């Protein structure tokens, strides 16, 4: 009887060893970082109904992750300013590599892969100046760093790739911080922007907010199926004066469309949008506020539709037509048409982001 080792050896010799894919780890629909009841931190792969597909320990609190487009690999990022970015084998749980930013740079919690998955892009900040950099890492060379490009602004946070092309869109938050990352050093002059970059570093398009809204830090992004960008903002001025927390833009247009709920509902967001996602095929867009315990839903033209109350809600992602959310109390909830379709509860505290694969 042939042994498993002999069988695999034969496959290797013949060059027919199957390529592992996300199907080999149960076709997870989402990635999410969490804190476990024992105080440990993990990255979890979740099904569309909120069931665990894998669970991998992290050395410290995670923020977000990005998934390779075809291989069952994920890169988990520490909460900013990041001291680690780990490349994880989601089948074995093995750490395939630990990325280290150049001296003087820190990771900023997010990253994205190229279309082919050959290049990883990481959001970084030069600590001394706040200048944004996008790190470039080669998967074929063991995630070796090959260089970086300017992000087009100060304090970049989330980065995304537009569908079907190599263009990156970057949320440059505009805030320069001090040594503890909570001292804001440039509130009087902060200038957030949304920048579209070619892999070469060429700025293809860059839009800024009106001067009276310059305290609205652009933090998080969602890209619709046709390339429309939704961005979520966090207000650094007086809370009562917070302008819109959701912006809509398409590359090439001169200015964004800003959207907000009616005044009383908008005030309940407390000037803070923690995540943003397109769902229902790009027809709807949601933003979350863990501070306000709210999710607000808009149509693709920015018209307010409805809101949902959920304490400490932050993670948002789409699964088909469904809007899926996670909160700090371990709840996973999916809704279609505002009505629940899946609900799961664990003893974990989900972190800020739910990442759709």
Domain borders along the chain are: 19-356
What order do you get walking across the sheet with 313-319 strand by strand?
313-319, 322-327, 331-336, 339-345
pLDDT of residue 290: 97
What is the rounded distance in angstroms from the CA atom of residue 26 to the CA atom of residue 347? 22
78: Cα separation from own chain's centroid: 12
Q: Would you call 152 helix, strand, or coil by DSSP?
A: strand
CB 235 within 8 A of CB 271: yes
* CA dihedral sign, ordered 155, 161, 162, 168: positive
Q: Which of 91-105, 179-193, 285-299, 303-317 has the lowest mean pLDDT?
A: 179-193
> Residue written as tokens 């093995």?
94
Token reading at 78: 């520490």
pLDDT of residue 178: 56
CB 88 within 8 A of CB 74: yes
Chain mean pLDDT for the chain: 90
Question: pLDDT tens, 138-168?
Answer: 999 999 999 999 999 999 999 999 999 999 9
pLDDT of residue 179: 53
Give the percent of the chain with pLDDT over 70. 91
pLDDT of residue 6: 40
**Mean pLDDT of the region 311-325:** 96
What is the rounded distance in angstroms from the CA atom of residue 23 to the CA atom of residue 58? 23
Q: How many residues does the chain have?
A: 357
What is the rounded distance in angstroms from the CA atom of residue 209 to the CA atom of residue 192? 7
CB 315 within 8 A of CB 32: yes
> Residue written as tokens 């990635």?
31
DSSP bridge partners of 115: none
For 178, what's the count of Cα atoms within 13 Å in the CB-facing half-sphere? 6
Question: pLDDT tens, 228-248?
Answer: 999 999 999 887 778 999 999
Residue 7 or residue 263, greater confidence:
263
- Cut 0.95: pTM above it: no
**Mean pLDDT of the region 32-54:** 95
- Give the DSSP H or E segment for 197: strand 193-197
Token reading at 152: 């087009």
What is the rounded distance in angstroms from the CA atom of residue 114 to the CA atom of residue 167? 9
pLDDT of residue 338: 85
For 340, what's the count of Cα atoms within 13 Å in the CB-facing half-sphere? 11
Whether the link from the prior residue into 256 is cis, omega within 30° of 0, is no
What is the rounded distance in angstroms from the CA atom of residue 194 to the CA atom of residue 121? 17
Q: Is the pLDDT of residue 17 over 50?
A: no
pLDDT of residue 277: 98
For 29, what's the count of Cα atoms within 13 Å in the CB-facing half-sphere? 16
Q: Is the pLDDT of residue 3 over 50?
A: no
Architecture of domain 19-356: 7 Propeller (2.130)
* Confidence category of residue 84, pLDDT binned at 50, 70, 90: confident
Q: Is the pLDDT of residue 180 over 70?
A: no
CA distances from 188 to 28, 127, 142, 169, 181 (A): 44, 19, 42, 25, 17
């Amino acid at each position: 009887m042939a042994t498993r080792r002999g069988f695999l050896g034969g496959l290797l010799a013949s060059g027919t060893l199957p390529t592992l894919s996300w199907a080999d780890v149960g076709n997870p629909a989402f990635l999410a970082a969490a804190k476990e009841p024992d105080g440990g931190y993990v990255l979890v792969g979740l099904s569309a109904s909120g069931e665990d597909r894998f669970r991998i320990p992290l050395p410290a609190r995670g923020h977000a992750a990005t998934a390779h487009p075809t291989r069952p690999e994920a890169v988990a990022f520490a909460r900013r300013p990041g001291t680690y970015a780990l490349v994880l084998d989601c089948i074995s749980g093995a750490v395939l590599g630990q990325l280290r930013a150049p001296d003087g740079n820190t990771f900023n919690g997010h990253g994205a892969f190229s279309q082919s998955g050959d290049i990883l892009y990481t959001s970084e900040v030069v600590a001394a100046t706040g200048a944004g950099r996008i790190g470039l890492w080669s998967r074929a060379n063991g995630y070796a760093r090959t260089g970086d490009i300017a992000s087009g602004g100060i304090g970049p946070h989330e980065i995304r790739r537009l569908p079907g092309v190599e263009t990156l869109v970057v949320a440059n938050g505009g805030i320069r911080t001090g040594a503890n990352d909570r001292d804001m050093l440039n509130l009087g002059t902060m200038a957030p922007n949304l920048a579209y970059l070619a892999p070469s570093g060429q700025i293809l398009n860059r839009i800024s907010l009106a001067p009276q809204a310059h305290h609205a830090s652009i933090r998080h992004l969602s890209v619709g199926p046709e390339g429309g960008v939704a961005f979520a903002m966090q207000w650094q001025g007086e809370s009562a004066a917070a302008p819109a927390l959701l912006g809509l833009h398409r590359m090439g247009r001169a200015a964004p469309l800003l959207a907000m709920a009616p005044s009383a509902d908008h005030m309940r967001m407390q000037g803070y949008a923690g995540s943003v996602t397109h769902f229902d095929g790009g027809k709807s867009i949601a933003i979350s506020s863990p501070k306000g315990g709210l999710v607000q839903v808009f149509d693709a033209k920015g018209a307010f539709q409805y809101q949902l109350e959920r304490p400490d809600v932050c993670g948002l992602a789409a699964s088909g037509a469904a809007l899926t959310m996670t909160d700090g109390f371990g709840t996973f909830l999916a809704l279609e048409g505002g009505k629940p379709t899946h609900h799961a509860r664990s003893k974990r505290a989900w972190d800020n982001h739910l990442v759709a694969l």
